[in-house]
Each structure stands twice: as structure tokens, then as C-alpha cells.
């Protein structure tokens, strides 16, 4: 965009992304047991408590008009510009490299924040997959 790199590092503290996911209806959500293969494939193993294999899925009732969802909640991704990120920007790193540096320094992606909300029963794995389909391989 033609902005000097030093201006970015001196003026940007971080970048925040968010998306809305639908909240599971607490009147009808259904507990579902996942097998170990599904847990590993989705990345849920990082966030599940020891021995936990249960998450919730949408069912549908009168309270939620048969959708299984009622309300919305945000999932977030914070991309902080720390010293390592400043160095990468000043060296002219591309977006892929910047993302890798951020991940190495603990950035939680939208998909991972969504998985945390799946584990707590706020939303379903299907909903997180629907909203973050571009991040599933990260």
C-alpha cells in the first residue's frame, strides 16, 4: 500500500479480527461424544479437559424456532506487534511469514478461539467450521 515499514512498526500496536458465531440454544442443545480421531482432526484436543470427549450440537426446539441456535457470540484473533514482529516487518517479511512469527509467539487464531467456545458448550463445532472455513488447516 506504499506505507513505509518504520511507520507501521511505530504506529500499530496490534490487529484484531473478529467474527460472529451462533450460540447454541441452551434449551435444546444436545451432548455428543466425539471419538479420538475426530478430536485430533478438529484440533479440539488442545482445549478439552483431561478425559473430556463431549461437546454440544444443535438440535432445535420452539425456543430457538427449530434452528438449534439463539443469539451470537464473537470469536477473536489478536495479532500483536511485538519486537519479533517489528523486526519481521522492517525486514520486509510477507504475510505468510508474519503469520508464522505471530503463531510462534502465541497468537490464537479465530478457529482456535472458536474451539475454546465449542469446549465450553457455547457453540457447535459445525458452526465454528462454517465461519472459519479458511483457517481450518492452521
Helix (H) or strand (E) holding 14: strand 14-24
pTM exceeds cut of 0.85: no
pLDDT digits (tens, 9 = 90+) for 90-133: 998 898 999 899 999 889 999 999 999 999 999 999 999 999 98
Q: What gap in Å lies between CA 123 and CA 25, rounded to an integer?
A: 9
For residue 72, list its beta bridge partners: 22
121 closest CA partner among 36, 21, 43: 21
Read off the pLDDT of residues 4-39 as tens digits, 9 standing for 90 and up.
888 888 888 888 999 999 999 999 999 999 999 999
User: Would you tell me how many other CB atoms lie within 10 Å of the CB of residue 102?
Assistant: 23
Q: What's domain 5-131's architecture?
A: 3-Layer(aba) Sandwich (3.40)
115 closest CA partner among 68, 45, 63: 45
SS3 assignment, position 63: coil
Amino acid at each position: 500500500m506504499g506505507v513505509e515499514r518504520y511507520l507501521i512498526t511505530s504506529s500499530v500496536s496490534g490487529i484484531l479480527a473478529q467474527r460472529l458465531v451462533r450460540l447454541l440454544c441452551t434449551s435444546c442443545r444436545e451432548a455428543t461424544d466425539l471419538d479420538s480421531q475426530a478430536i485430533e482432526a478438529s484440533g479440539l484436543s488442545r482445549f478439552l479437559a483431561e478425559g473430556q470427549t463431549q461437546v454440544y450440537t444443535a438440535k432445535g426446539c420452539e425456543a430457538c424456532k427449530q434452528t438449534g441456535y439463539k443469539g451470537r457470540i464473537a470469536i477473536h484473533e489478536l495479532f500483536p506487534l511485538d519486537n519479533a514482529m517489528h523486526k519481521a516487518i522492517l525486514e520486509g517479511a510477507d504475510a505468510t511469514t508474519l503469520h508464522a512469527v505471530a503463531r510462534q509467539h502465541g497468537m490464537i487464531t479465530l478457529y482456535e478461539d472458536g474451539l475454546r467456545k465449542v469446549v465450553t458448550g457455547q457453540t457447535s463445532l459445525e458452526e465454528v467450521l462454517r465461519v472459519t472455513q479458511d483457517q481450518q488447516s492452521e
